[in-house]
A and B are shown apart, each in its own frame.
Chain A
Amino acid sequence: ETGVTQTPRHLVMGMTNKKSLKCEQHLGHNAMYWYKQSAKKPLELMFVYSLEERVENNSVPSRFSPECPNSSHLFLHLHTLQPEDSALYLCASSQEGNQPQHFGDGTRLSIL
């Protein structure tokens, strides 16, 4: 496997469900990111992990809970989501600092 891999690619869940999104990077990077991409809106940064520590939390509701167990893996735990949370969730990785970020293909999330 190369690059940034995200699973699942598609997820449909009810508002009361709990699920997790997974991201794995094979680029040797030490920073990882979660973004939300909604139709007709710019990508919104949600969380940044650098050297496995969370360094940015962009005013994201607590129903989204990130986890970074090591520099290669990143999770986004979801619970009690709202219909407006339906979007494409993208994971990215880079070397820490202002280095270019490389993205996975995202998880398309639909909340019923």
Chain B
Amino acid sequence: QKEVEQDPGPLSVPEGAIVSLNCTYSNSAFQYFMWYRQYSRKGPELLMYTYSSGNKEDGRFTAQVDKSSKYISLFIRDSQPSDSATYLCAMSAISNTGKLIFGQGTTLQVKP
């Protein structure tokens, strides 16, 4: 079983839709949770960074962590064509090396 599971998609939605992206994980030691966005031919760009459980909001983006279910989500409100990208979840346990475990990434297409 992979440590982090993420549906690769692709996920196609109309402009203005609410998008829900999800990851599940198996390691209960994970405490730090991140979402990255990766455009074609570019490196991953950090979108959200959360510690432990709870919600975090930044503009149109909301990250949720449910440690009891080992489930994290990223919601995108009022999705735009410019949101079309691959979204990667990543997580780590408390350590001094910052070792991140990534999901496979979900490809999102927002159609005008």
Contact = CB atoms under 8 A, between A and B. Distances in A.
B56 interface: no
Interface in B31-86: 31-32, 34, 36, 41-46, 49
Interface stretch (A12-20, A66-74, A75-83, A98-106): A98-106
A94 B104 CA distance: 22
Given A98-B92, A100-B46, A104-B43, A40 B104 contact: yes
A6 B99 CA distance: 21
B29 to A, nearest CB: 12
A21 interface: no
Contact of B44 (A90, A94, A97): A90
Contacts of B42: 105-106
Interface string B76-112: 0000000000001010101111111111110000000
A96 B97 CA distance: 7
Interface of B: 2, 4, 6, 8, 31-32, 34, 36, 41-46, 49, 88, 90, 92, 94-105
The 4 closest A-B pairs by CB, nearest first: A103-B43, A43-B102, A42-B102, A105-B43
